[in-house]
């Protein structure tokens, strides 16, 4: 049995080598309009599944690939495999812009597979992402105070629960960085970890209570990868994932009516997701928005595409307030949608297929870096190679995949830069305090030794 399984997995690895090349040919045919949309959808689904199986040995990379694959399946199912006619999110699936979007997604997956790591470093059961370093009470205390402030003042609440959805501010969404740095600096002190655990569940609970999902899910995944994943096998993880999936399906369907829901509402929610083939509404909603990017692109000239790309580049360093940096905001004036956007489609709009290849190469480079980071953890040289900024950023990219693949490139560009800077500052302070503490202990020890010698001489 094991030999058959090993043989099958070897076939998958071989497919990883050749399928992306065929995917490049298929994307070229799709760009040229020589491939039916449903066939492009089949290719996209197959490529995303190959990515999942290829990255299976590393739980962090596996999680990223699962989110991408589930999003791709959801997009393809409701638009092409079993068209869902009861929603506006599939109304553009037959347009030329939708065909271009399919071609872009297929090209993205093909390039991503081509440049993915040649050897996947195993990271799963009994593999801890953070070390048991000496905890820093002062740094965690400062972070905790900042998080409490964000929890109270950086979340827009409606007048009453259930009347409308809450609106987390960008500061609330970026709080995940503070949690990651806080858990790292908490080290071996259980009391510090306990404070942060209470806060992370308060953050996630508030988001769920007011109809949100993604921010809560990101924070819960931080908790999972730090505390649960090292202690759980795949068999024990599957039931947990089923529970989490059911919870977020319910929240997604009822949104603001979650508190007033009863068993009938839950049953209807489950029945609804069965009817759409377990497709993820966030994914195909973002896909709809992405198509509007390309439709708007047909209304403007090439110079305007480049100008908007320049505005987006400025926003990476100056923030989302830069005029023209948000494509979804621009197209909202022309088309009905609820924001979001699939990562490669942003760059198809800005730079065409070359932009898609560039962003796929960047994501592949990040995945290779994450794979090397995990290799450092497994080899035990985390104090020099992994722990610190690299390991914090690795977990940040993993847990924010929902945002950077389905909403905006900001999380994997501006957000990653912020994560690196905050980590560097916090870890520098932590290191300086550790050195001061060691120096103080050595000074006290030296004085005690000197006094002891003087006492011996006197006697």
User: Is residue 142 situated within a structural domain?
Assistant: yes
Q: What's residue 179's pLDDT?
A: 97
Confidence class for position 429, pLDDT limits 50, 70, 90: confident
pLDDT at res. 249: 62
Burial of 320 (0-12, 13-18, 19+ CB in 10 A): middle
Coil, strand or helix at 335: coil
Beta bridge partners of 58: 123
With H, G, I as helix, E, B as strand and everything else as coil, classify residue 256.
helix
Question: Could you tell me the pLDDT band of residue 6, with boundaries at 50, 70 and 90?
Answer: low
Mean pLDDT across 342-362 = 97
pLDDT-derived band at 384 (thresholds 50, 70, 90) equals: very low
Q: Residue 258 is part of which domain span? A: 137-275
Would you say residue 304 has pLDDT above 70? yes
Per-residue tokens: 459: 């006697």
Determine the pLDDT at residue 276.
81
191 in a domain, yes or no?
yes
* pLDDT for the residue numbered 312: 96
For residues 249 and 234, give the distance between their C-alpha atoms in angstroms, rounded to a whole number.
Answer: 22
Round to whole Å and give the CA distance between 327 and 366: 24
Specify if 360 maps to a domain: no
For the entire predicted model, the pTM comes to: 0.89
Q: Indicate if the pLDDT at residue 66 is higher than 60.
A: yes
The CA-based diameter of the chain, rounded to the nearest angstrom, is 99
pLDDT at 330 > cutoff 70: yes
Mean pLDDT within 316-324: 90
Residue 438 has pLDDT above 80, yes or no: no
pLDDT at 386: 45
Has residue 212 been placed in a domain? yes
* Structural domain count of the chain: 1
359-379: average pLDDT: 88
| Section 120-132 average pLDDT | 81
| Percentage of residues of the chain with pLDDT beyond 90 | 58
For the stretch 73-90, pLDDT in tens is 999 999 999 998 888 999
Q: Cα(370)–Cα(111) distance, rounded to whole angstroms?
A: 18
Predicted local distance difference test score (pLDDT) of residue 431:
81
pLDDT at 261: 55
The answer to whether the beta carbons of residues 70 and 51 sit under 8 Å apart is no
Choose between 256 and 9: higher pLDDT: 9
Query: Mean pLDDT over residues 402-418, rounded?
Result: 95
d(CA 354, CA 350): 9
- pLDDT surpasses 80 at 376: no
Give a yes or no: residue 209 inside a domain. yes
pLDDT at 404: 96
Bridge partners of residue 123, in order along the sequence: 58
pLDDT at site 128: 81
Q: What per-residue confidence (pLDDT) applies to 437?
A: 61
Indicate whether 160 pLDDT > 80: no
- pLDDT at 70 exceeding the cut of 90: yes
Predicted pLDDT at 61: 95
8 A C-beta contact, residue 83 and residue 93: yes
The arithmetic mean of pLDDT across residues 428-455, rounded, is 61
Residue 272 has pLDDT above 90, yes or no: no
Three-class SS state of 126: coil
Is 205 within the bounds of a domain? yes
Distances (CA, A) of 376 to 89, 180, 221, 370: 43, 19, 22, 10
Instruction: Look at residue 328 and tell me if it is in a domain.
Output: no
> For residue 8, what pLDDT band results from cuts at 50, 70 and 90?
low
How does residue 439 score in pLDDT terms, banded at 50, 70 and 90?
very low
Q: What is the pLDDT of residues 22-54, one digit of tens each?
A: 999 999 999 999 999 999 999 999 999 999 999
Whole-angstrom distance, CA of residue 368 vs CA of residue 346 = 23
Give me the pLDDT at residue 385, please: 37
Query: Quick check: 450 pLDDT over 60?
Result: no
- Mean residue pLDDT of the chain comes to 85
Q: Does residue 104 fall inside a structural domain?
A: no
């Amino acid at each position: 049995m094991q030999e058959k399984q090993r043989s099958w997995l070897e076939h998958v690895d071989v497919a990883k080598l050749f399928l992306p090349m065929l995917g490049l040919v298929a994307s070229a045919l799709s760009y040229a309009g020589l491939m039916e949309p449903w066939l492009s959808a089949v290719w996209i689904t197959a490529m995303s599944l190959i990515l999942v199986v290829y990255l299976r040995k590393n739980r962090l990379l596996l999680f990223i690939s699962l989110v991408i694959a589930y999003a791709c399946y959801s997009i393809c199912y409701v638009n092409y495999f079993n068209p869902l006619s009861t929603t506006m999110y599939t109304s553009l699936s037959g347009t030329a812009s939708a065909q271009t979007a399919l071609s872009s997604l297929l090209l993205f997956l093909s390039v991503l597979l081509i440049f993915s790591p040649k050897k996947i470093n195993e990271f799963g059961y009994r593999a801890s992402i953070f070390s048991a370093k000496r905890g820093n009470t002062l740094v965690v205390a400062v972070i905790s105070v900042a998080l409490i402030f964000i929890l109270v003042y950086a979340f827009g609440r409606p007048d009453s629960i259930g009347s409308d959805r809450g609106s987390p501010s960008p500061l609330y969404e970026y709080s995940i960085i503070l949690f990651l740095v806080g858990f790292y600096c908490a080290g071996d002190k259980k009391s510090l970890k306990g404070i942060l655990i209470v806060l992370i569940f308060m953050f996630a609970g508030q988001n769920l209570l007011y109809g949100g999902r993604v921010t809560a899910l990101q924070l819960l995944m931080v908790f999972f990868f730090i505390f649960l994943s090292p202690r759980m096998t795949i068999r024990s993880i599957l039931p947990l994932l089923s529970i989490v999936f059911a919870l977020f399906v319910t929240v997604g369907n009822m949104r603001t009516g979650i508190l007033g829901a009863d068993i009938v509402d839950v049953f209807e929610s489950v029945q609804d997701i069965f009817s759409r083939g377990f497709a993820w509404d966030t994914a195909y909603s973002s896909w709809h928005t992405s198509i509007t990017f390309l439709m708007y692109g047909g209304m403007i000239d090439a110079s305007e595409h480049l100008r908007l790309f320049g505005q987006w580049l400025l926003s990476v360093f100056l923030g989302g307030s830069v005029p023209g940096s948000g494509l979804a905001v621009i197209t909202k004036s022309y088309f009905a949608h609820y924001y979001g956007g699939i990562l490669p489609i942003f760059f198809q709009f800005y730079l065409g297929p070359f932009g898609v290849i560039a962003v796929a190469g960047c994501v592949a480079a990040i995945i290779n870096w994450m794979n090397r980071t995990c290799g450092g953890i497994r080899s035990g040289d985390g104090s020099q190679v992994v722990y610190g900024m690299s390991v914090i950023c690795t977990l940040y990219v993993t847990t924010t995949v929902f945002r950077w693949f389905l909403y905006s490139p900001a999380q994997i560009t501006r957000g990653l830069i912020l994560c690196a800077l905050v980590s560097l500052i916090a870890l520098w302070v932590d290191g300086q305090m550790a050195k001061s503490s060691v120096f103080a202990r050595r000074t006290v020890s030296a004085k005690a030794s000197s006094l002891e010698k003087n006492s011996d001489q006197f006697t």
